[in-house]
Structures are given as structure tokens and as C-alpha cells.
Structure 1
Amino acid sequence: MRFSIALLLVPLLAACTTAGGSTAPGASAPPPRTGTVRVPPTRPPAPPPTAGGAFIAPQVMNVPGLEGVIGSTVGDLQRQFGTARLDVYEGDARKLQFEGEACVLDVYLYPLRPGAEPTATYIDARRSSDALDVDRVACVRALRGR
């Protein structure tokens, strides 16, 4: 019997503790907080140290059919495709853009070791008309054949 009474009192006690935190009738709630909270600035984590300084060797694209482009220097690329429409430098990287009726070819050149001449390590290709991606090998062939 005592156990049954104790079980009946549990919900009542729970209601009292919940109600104890509420505001009594007629009393007003505390005003909402206003103002700004300042969050200290964060810094991105530093890149892991590399041997010999900040040089990071690029990944080189390996797609069958692009062997004559990947690994080429600026001079090699100009002999294959003519004068680049765009020639953009960013640090030790370089981007050349070649354009034909069929497609636009973006060639990204990076040095493979510190102080080395940049060579083509990656290419992108898209249609000239609507900028949708196209097959890189087909674009290279089309630009060589113009």
C-alpha cells in the first residue's frame, strides 16, 4: 500500500518541480536579452609543414589520350594549339586557355619541384557554345586539327 501511495506522489512531485520554474500569475517575465555577443576571430589551422618549405607537389592528371598535353611546357602547348586566348599567372601556377569553334581548353601548369619550369598537370574542356563539359581528349583533337 505504501508503494502505491509513493507511485501516486511521483507525478505530483514532478509537476511541482516543473511549475516551480515558471512565473507566478501576475508577475512579469524577465526582459529578453538584447545586444551583441562578440565571438573571437578564428584562424584556419596552419597547413602541415612540408619538407623544404612551403612547396607542395601537384597531382598530375593521368588520362589516356592526353599524354601529349600533360607534362608539356608553355612552348610545347603553343606549338600544339597556337597562341593562348588567356594566360593567367597565380603564384608559381599558370593557366592557359585555348579556344576553337568546338571547345575551350583550360590547361593548368605547375612546377613539379621547387624552381622547376611549370608543366601541364591538369586540363578541363567545355563546349564553346554553352560551356557544358566535353570529353577532354576530343577537345584536344579538335583544337589540334583547326
Structure 2
Amino acid sequence: MKRLLPLLPALLLAACSTGTTAPRPAARIPLPQPRTISTVGLERVMGQSARALTQAFGAADADVTEGMGRKLQFGSRICVLDAYLYPKDGRGEPVVTYVDARQPDGSAIDRASCVAALARRDGGK
């Protein structure tokens, strides 16, 4: 027993050791995929000028210009359409590059459905 007494601290220390293990590789978290926004059904508005929009939908309910951008808003009982126009390459006549749509109460609505509804309205309203 007396021979083991000097070895006791080393044995206790060895009992506490967890040993060496290889580190686990980090879990790969998939990167979010970029969202593609469909323009199907928006052919009547995408790339169109302000004049073409007013011919299609009547006078805009709102016309806001900020810097090089312009927003035209068209509304009906069914929906509100915001068309954002910017000049291509910073030059030339602004054309629609993005549209957003909602129901009059702010609820979501399909953009193409809104364009179709606005195209069918009489007298712009």
C-alpha cells in the first residue's frame, strides 16, 4: 500500500482525463437560395413606360418621383398595383423594373391577377 501512495496523484489525474478525440467537423448549414421572382403574367407592365401604363390602366392614382426612380400607383376595388420605373443603365426613358400588388385592405394578392383585374376595369376605375 505504501508503494502505491506516491502514485495516487498520478492515478487520480489519469482518471480525470477524457483522453484525446479528434474534433468533429462543423455541421454544414445550407445557404439560403436566392429567391426568384416570377414575372409570368406581368408582360403587360414589365419594361413598359409610364405612358404605356396610363394607356393600359388609365390615370395613375399616385405618381411619386424620387431621384431617378418613379412609382406609379393604380387601384381598383380589387387591388392596388405599384409600378416602379427606372431608366435602363441610368439613361433614357424610365421603364417598369418591378411591380408590387396588394388588396385594398393590405392583404396579399398575386401580382399577375392584379394586373389582369386592372386591365379589365372600365375608365381606369
Query: Same-fold call, TM > 0.5?
Result: yes
Q: Which residue of 2 aligns with 1:3?
A: 7
Determine whether 1:94 maps to 2:70.
yes
Q: Within 5 Å, which residues of 2 pair with 1:38-49?
A: none
Stretches of structure 1 that go unaligned for 5 or more consecutive residues are 9-60
- Alpha-carbon shift at residue 66 of structure 1 (Å): 1.1
Counterpart in the other structure of 1:77: 53
Aligned residue pair count: 93
Q: TM-score, normalised by structure 2?
A: 0.67
Per-residue deviation at 1:114?
Answer: 2.3
Q: Following superposition of structure 1 onto structure 2, how do residues 112-123 of structure 1 map, counting pairs within 5 Å? A: 112-123=88-99
How far is the alpha carbon of 1:113 from its aligned partner?
Answer: 1.1
Q: Give the C-alpha shift of residue 3 in structure 1.
A: 2.3
TM-score normalised to structure 1 length: 0.58
Q: What is the correspondence of 1:61-72 to structure 2 with a 5 Å cutoff?
A: 63-72=39-48
Q: Identity percentage over the alignment? A: 47
Residue-by-residue CA offset, 1:18-38 (whole Å, 9 max, x unaligned): xxxxxxxxxxxxxxxxxxxxx
For the structure 1 residues 7 and 123, does the alpha-carbon distance in structure 2 shift closer, same or farther, using more than 3 Å as the test? same
TM-aligned CA distance change 1:3 to 1:95, over 3 Å? same
**Which structure has the highest helix share of the two?**
2
Return the offset for 1:127: 0.7
Structure 2 segments unaligned to the other structure (5+ residues): 13-36
Match of 1:107? Answer: 83
